Structure 1
Amino acid sequence: MFDFTNPQYWETIYQLLVPATGETLYMVIASTLLAYLLGVPLGVILVISSPDHISPNPWIERTLGTVINIFRSAPFIVLLIVLIPVTQAIMGTYIGTDAAIVPLVFATAPFVARMVESSLKEIPYGVIEAALSMGSSPWQIIRKVLLPEAKASLILGAAITTISVVGYTAMAGTIGAGGLGDVAIRYGQHRFRTDVMIMTVIILVIIVQLVQLFGTKLARRISHH
């Protein structure tokens, strides 16, 4: 049994969970930002290259869609293993917090692309036709019509994506990526520390709830404007 009244116990828990929470937040923020840098352009290309859109190109749409679907269909734990050589080549190692960002981005960017595609396709085509009739170029339509009109939906999508990345970081702990997942496995499972397992789950739930709350409130504020 654990002596919850012992200050030494809580000091140990603090030293264990606080750095791990920081590592998890670092992985989530860094990989989500990088995934959006890749995923947003991919999602835009998927939309504008689709039939009857501003730059239809069936070959690009099918090829890009197939590649995205391949990465989306692969379980993240499989990507972690398959991408070890890529991670090693990019980061010099496949173990650690920084190294985990590589498979996290590869797993998240296709998800972001589909989320962006879904958001942009919600925009009535009449709005796009109006911009075309005024002589707007495809780039102007993307920058001034598609992305601004879909802001609220894109923010909700970002919240969902971030929550998914939180779950991915926990799985990344299986290969020594650090963070709360690593703590849960090394200390909670391997050492049969139920208290550590429960606390890591609680922290992950709090992170998820805060991300969802912030995303929902921001999306509502933007949609009202």
Structure 2
Amino acid sequence: MIPWLNPALEQLFVDAAIETLTMVGGAAAVAILLGLPLALLLYATGPGGLAQNGLANRPLGLLVNAVRSTPFIILMVAIVPFTRLVAGTSIGTTAAIVPLALAATAFIARLFETAFREVDRGVIEAARAMGATRLQILVKVVVPEAMPGLIAAVTVTLVSLVGYSAMAGAVGGGGLGDLGIRFGYQRFMPEVMASVVVVLIVFVQGLQSLGDWIVRRIRRR
């Protein structure tokens, strides 16, 4: 697969790539499931929202901003007890998904909220005039109308998670980041570090291209 790596390193590389995909995919799935309702709540209770409520919106917004503003490497260490509670361990691929999902949830919730705010108010008012409830407007009008922005937000989040997963390798999270640190840096094997960088770039380019293609297809419809 990679001519300049010996067979043993090639297998480690494949295993590390699978671990990275597992971390990114698992964290993204959790982030989307939690981030979408969180974003809808932030949007609905925010200024000009369908259920404007500053008492609910401000604390929730502060919590999301607090998670977003915490550097990921610090967040991983800070929530080690919570990670142990959820995953049963604080090291390894499964454990790394917990802080990755937490960071991605806050990140994607804000991106989703921004996409919702870009929905034409005229469409919302038309649905309200036809007697749609607030929940129906959110689910059947706001979310479908914001779909291109939501897909773009998911793409940006996936790309960010690839970088976060590499950082997770610095504290025993596994994946390509761990491989690059253990072999490329600590054992002075530049070919391994170069391979890790190339593969991560390919991951990012592939995710970005796929996301852009899906957004274009949705907008044409």
Normalised by the length of structure 2, the TM-score is 0.97
CA distance in 2, matches of 1:80, 1:193: 27
* 1:120 aligned onto 2:122: no
Aligned pairs for 1:105-184 (under 5 A) are 105-184=101-180
Q: SS at the partner of 2:6?
A: helix
The alignment status of 1:64 with 2:69, answered yes or no, reads no
Q: Which amino acid aligns with 2:119?
A: I
Distance 1:101 1:18 in 2: 19
Query: 1:90: how far off?
Result: 1.2
Alpha-carbon deviations, 1:63-117, whole Å to 9, x = none?
A: 1100000000000000010011110111111000000011001111000110000
Confirm or deny that 1:104 pairs with 2:100. yes
Shift of 1:11: 1.2
1:23 shift after superposition = 0.4
Asked whether 1:25 is paired with 2:29, we answer no
| 2:74 maps to which of 75, 78, 89 | 78
Deviations 1:142-174 (A, max 9, x none): 111000001111101110000000000000001
Quick one: distance in 2 between partners of 1:158 and 1:51?
24
Q: Deviations over 1:4-26 (max 9, x none)?
A: 67xxx431231121010000001
Partner of 2:203: 207
Q: How many residues align?
A: 219
Q: Over aligned residue pairs, what C-alpha RMSD do you find?
A: 1.0
Aligned partner of 2:49 among 35, 53, 77: 53
Greater mean deviation of Cα atoms: 142-151 or 46-55 = 46-55
Partner of 2:90: 94
User: What is the one-letter code of the residue matched to 1:101?
Assistant: I
Deviation at 1:53, TM superposition (A): 1.9
Q: Whole-Å Cα distance in 2 between the matches of residues 90 and 151 of structure 1?
A: 32
Any stretches of 5+ residues in structure 2 without a counterpart?
A: none
Identity %: 43
1:221 corresponds to which of 205, 217, 221: 217
Unpaired segments of 5 or more residues in structure 1?
Answer: none
Name the CA distance, whole Å, in 2 between partners of 1:199 and 1:12.
14
Q: Is 1:11 matched up with 2:7?
A: yes
- Aligned equivalents of 1:163 and 1:52: distance in 2? 31
Rounded to whole Å, the distance in 2 between the matches of 1:190 and 1:44 is 45
Return the alpha-carbon distance in structure 1 between the equivalents of residues 49 and 19 of structure 2. Answer: 42
SS of the aligned residue for 2:51 comes to coil
